[in-house]
Structure 1
Amino acid sequence: MNPADIVASIPFAVTTGIELVSATPEEAVGRLEWAPDRTTIGGGMHGGAIMTLADTVGAVCAFLNLPPGASTSTTSSSTVFTRGVRSGTVTATARRLHAGRSTIAVVTEVRDDAGKLVAQVTQSQAVLAS
């Protein structure tokens, strides 16, 4: 599957405007543009939008590490926000930490246009038999 096909298979990612730039079992990269409808009071990008990007890109990385016929679901997610975003694009890079028989662990860094860390998300994914 190419990145566009992967995102097309995730309706919520399409609805939220996430673009998947690249995806391999080792690393997935996606981005989301700042937009007025993705902000909080005061104009900063909503944390939920940032977490949606990170969760989506992390899930893609996990999906690409599944054995044939298996599926995955997020079982835990921990987010640390380090700065706000008031314009531009945020880019999420998810990297596999562990791919085992029953769980996959992924860490995702979200950065702004200047390359500064906006958030770090660590998530665990269950490996589900088909």
Structure 2
Amino acid sequence: MDLQEILATMPFAAKSGVELVSANAGEVVGRLAWSEDVTTTDRIMHGGALTTLADTVGAVSAYLNIPSGASRVTTASNAVFARQVRRGVVTGTARPLHVGRKTVLVSIDIMDEEGRLVSQVTQSHAVLGELGP
């Protein structure tokens, strides 16, 4: 599946402006550009927009680490915000911390264009469906 096909399975993320840059089982990278459409008070990028980026790359990371034929669902997501974003592009990088038979734990770092931490997100995903013997 190519990156556009993966993103097409998540219409909300695509409509929100999230782009996938690269994706493999060890690391998923996406980005989101600042625009007036994704801001809140004082033209600061909305935490929901940052969380959408994190949830997108986190979900793809978990999906790429589950058995063929299984599916996954996010069971928890915890975001810590470190700084505001008023311009530019943020990049989200998701890496699996634990891949088990029934759960996948993913860490996501959202960075600004200067390489500074904007948000750190930890997610857990339940693995659903047939897992095999």
TM over 0.5: yes
Q: Deviations over 1:83-121 (max 9, x none)?
A: 000000000000010110100000000000001000000
- Aligned match of 1:94: 94
> Where does residue 78 of structure 2 map in the other structure?
78
Which runs of structure 2 are paired with 1:32-51 in the superposition (5 Å)?
A: 32-51=32-51
In structure 1, distance between residues paired with 2:64 and 2:102: 14
Matched residue, 1:64 = 64
User: Which digits, 9 at most, give the CA deviation of each residue in 1:35-64, with x for residues without a partner?
Assistant: 101001111000000001001100000000
Please give the TM-score of this superposition, normalised by the length of structure 1.
Answer: 0.98
Task: State the match for 1:25 in structure 2.
Answer: 25
Q: What is aligned with 1:5?
A: 5
Partners in 1 of 2:104 and 2:11 — Cα distance?
Answer: 23
Give the total of aligned pairs: 130
Give me the whole-angstrom Cα distance separating, in 2, the residues matched to 1:27 and 1:3. 13
Percent identical among aligned pairs is: 57
SS of the residue corresponding to residue 113 of structure 1 reads: coil
2:67 aligned counterpart, secondary structure: coil
Letter of the structure 1 residue corresponding to residue 56 of structure 2: T
Alignment of 1:100-111 (within 5 A): 100-111=100-111
- The one-letter code matched in structure 1 to 2:36 is P
TM-score w.r.t. the length of structure 2 is 0.96
Deviation at 1:14, TM superposition (A): 1.1
SS at match of 2:41: coil
Secondary structure of residue in 1 paired with 2:48? helix
- Aligned-pair CA distance for 1:68: 1.0
Structure 2 residue matching 1:42: 3-state secondary structure: helix
Runs of 4+ in 1 over 6 A off after TM superposition: none
Match status 1:52 vs 2:32: no
CA distance in 2 between partners of 1:22 and 1:124 (Å): 21
Q: Amino acid of the residue matched to residue 71 of structure 1? A: S
SS in 1 for 2:40: coil
